[in-house]
Amino acid sequence: MAITLNNGFQMPIIGLGVWRMEKKAIKDLIIESIKIGFRHFDCACIFSFQNSLAFTNFDIVFTKCWMFCAADYKNEAEVGEALCEAIKTGLVTREELFITTKLWNTDHGHVVEACKHSLKKLQLDYLDLYLVHFPISIRHTGIGATGSPLDEDGVLDIETNISLETTWHAMEDLVSMGLVRSIGISNYDIFLTRDCLAYSKIKPAVNQIETHPYFQRESLVKFCQKHGICVTAHTPLGGADANTKRFGTVSCLDDPILKGIAEKYKKTVAQIVLRWGIQRNTVVIPKTSKSERLKENFKVLEFELAKEDMDVIQAFDKNYRSNIQPAKFWGIDLYA
């Protein structure tokens, strides 16, 4: 099951994330997921914090492997080795894989170099999708060094001499160079997405955002879909326990209404939430390191939610962001 992007390439609609995975576990996880049926791998660095935490969003999606490179998480090489082995042993072909990575905030002025750096570590000749991670450029700290430098006041050191339009045109160059098949954006709101559509020669194929039952962002999702931009949910389960521990947020997986729907279908709450995302025509990329969860996630393609249950879930949107809260670490609220 896949979504056809606005350039004709197909992108699997469901994925598995390997964010927070230890290096030694990544290879086995990827190999096992391919054997289960996954073909879409997403392993993208979310963001890192100077002198504090390092976050990396690594998601794997099926049917075509889509990979987001976790540069700051220091596991790009391990991911590359796993894919290389899978291809060499005949487990999967490169043509079956859909691999994605992101441009980090410090590399807006070095787009081509950053892309080539990721390709080298991943042992690939091209990427299926390359995304602008955040709509912000910060002080360059070296190719592949995905830190978040702060200024003398402890605030994110934002660059003001590189526009998002300049960054986007550099992304377009990657397509003409044959390094990337599709390009897209991440964490863009309606206004920034509209601007990108206006100045782009190659329209963004994807906008990857946080969206889940508690943070549905229906207006943004519909705007993107209306203009031919596929929406990917990088936090389709609301971050679950990991975000509860890190940010103190509430997980939708504990919602009693969702639990009731799960009992009705004899599925887990996570399966219900993922299926809801798929039936919204959004790509979902949940993260797990557990074998049983891999199999459960893959099985969401085997059932459908009735319209009445889709409507119930849509009705309890709380406009509640659970995942990306840079203000806690960057000294600035980018969502204000």
Query: Which residues does the annotation mark as catalytic?
Result: 73
As a three-state string, the secondary structure of the chain is: CEEECCCCCEEECEEEECCCCCHHHHHHHHHHHHHHCCCEEEEEEEEECCCCCEEEEEEEECCCEEECCCCCCCCHHHHHHHHHHHHHCCCCCHHHEEEEEEECHHHCCCHHHHHHHHHHHHCCCCEEEEEECCCCCECCCCCCCCCCCECCCCCECECCCCCHHHHHHHHHHHHHCCCEEEEEEECCCHHHHHHHHHHCCCCCCEEEECCECCECCHHHHHHHHHCCCEEEECCCCCCHHHHHHHHCCCCHHHCHHHHHHHHHHCCCHHHHHHHHHHHCCCEECCECCCHHHHHHHHHHHHCCCCHHHHHHHHHCCCCCCCCCCCHHHHCCCCCC
- How far is the C-alpha of 298 from the C-alpha of 44, rounded, in Å? 20
Strands 15-17 and 10-12: unpaired
Q: Is 169 annotated as a binding residue?
A: no
Going by the annotation, the residues of the binding site are 133
Question: Which positions make up the binding site for substrate?
Answer: 133
